[in-house]
Structure 1
């Protein structure tokens, strides 16, 4: 694990905080999230909460009244100052070169996420919704909204499933006929608002300070997205896949290497900047430990936000260390879905990070899975795990 480097001047108060990212201060658009400060061996630890998710931050530097902390996997950080027991400053997204700072404030002692007074419990938003983002626009897209009321309260957790992945852990509240959900994980800074009227949800989705779009939803327990296993596919199922890229030590690794000979291989197309890829990598880290002695191999191809090998290596190494990944992660020194499609010409296209290829022992593509339904999706995650492990067991037998 990466160790915290803390120089003590003033002490960060132990306890609960309500953080706010001011997405649009003039319009009053605020993204709230909750975190707790605890001390271990006299060193402060920050734990961010999004529904069932807990994110531990241990890279904290305190000098005078300055409190700076870096997110554990993603290349983002907070630079703040102590204002009494509160914190004030900015969140900096280092993946961006322009408009990469958002004003931030954290209030000590506040445990609520949204500062509404809950009304009588009413599970108005409970269930599965057919969602359209940017309705009536050329770039509109479909999703599934899954919302759950915490028992006997108006507090809500949920997520959105799309054809490229899920929106991870959202947490919020019902206020009358209005819905408010938010999530902050160091990469995603998501805020969803909506109003229920005439059996329809009409709302706005905010992502950071630079993106917003409208969305609508109708309750539909039978709605389905396109099959994640049909979006990308091998153009020739008899063609053997091969590639060669450097690992974190700079050594060229190829599918044709002796290590992978006559073994089924899972190939991740991913990036350390991608929260869905993080969830998938955490899952495959566990899977590799379970099945590697039976012959399973996994290789991740990292498409980072930079083509610079050393910079990309640094970020990928953070992911690998934090998630305790034992399999190879290769640095492609390329960025974006178009470059991924150009690299893996055996497939028709790459539309999402992550995209996962399942190869048999001859290294022919058996299945391609687009996106990732992570642990925030509940039953969808359970189904994915069951199907994946059944496939892996079959590939190991053949």
Structure 2
């Protein structure tokens, strides 16, 4: 292991470039698989005798999806060029030098130290990334999309610039917190830091419902009296959930943990599209994300990822500044832990690929479990609710490439979910 470490230390830039190119080739391969799947579906779809209106809608949706995939492929090449420039032309060091100059100019506001310079480094980096990405974003909005936003380019640019400013502010606070935490956590072992992260995320998510209730009391609407409330009250008694924790809102999702403050937000706009029992089955599926501790499982996986990440960072980089030297930082290398961690994430790409794929796969298994539990109570009614959801999708005839799906999506195609539940239904009827 020590021999491998010595080899790595002398070739960090080469390794980072190799991994970046490998990541590009992998993503390019997956997008081309997906594109071929779309083209096969188009050929299959054109030979089928279907309703003309549905035919037109689905053809248009497939065409849009094909354009979107081609755009993503172009963006992959765009990002590859950017990352190789960053790695091979010591861009981090150049930005660090510029941020130091800005720090001196703003000495009447900001203290001249590594913390201020790192925050300014983030602002300058975001500015460069914003400038680099704007052309292809504009191209996607106004040239590739079949239905571009009906707004003038200047308004679009102002909106994106506003997002950029908010991102700079948010990243500045995050980086400042990271640096303060890094100083505090140096004396703690990695497992304690990871455990602290787990506790923090649980507390943060658990306090969200309380925060929303207090700060935005009108945002959450209690269930009105009627059939829907009666049905949900009955099913909540069956699964052990408090029906008073179900609220109507403009979006649909589960928040919290089974043993801490939590609530379910049900999309008010979808009620009229389903029968009472069908809609209740959809809400029940969200309730199961809480009662089956899906949130906790996700946070445990994120904690394990952080632990592995920190373990590698600690072994290869924390006490070794050769990586900084190879990326142009030949001067004072004290207090550059954020820069070192930034470079490390360029090199950690292969591990991120494996971890991300594994996380997506586990998420899909958990979703299958949620579907099974909901089916056990509502049977065919839940399948009908999924079919209605599918019928609202213009890509009714398209199923994503399985390898692309595993790497990029948490949920399987709704068609596959329906087929799986229908197979369960057939087995039960046979038994």
TM-score scaled by structure 1? 0.26
* Higher relative contact order structure (alpha carbons within 8 Å, sequence separation ≥ 6): 2
Larger gyration radius, structure 1 or structure 2: 2
TM-score scaled by structure 2? 0.25
Identify the structure with the greater strand proportion. Answer: 1
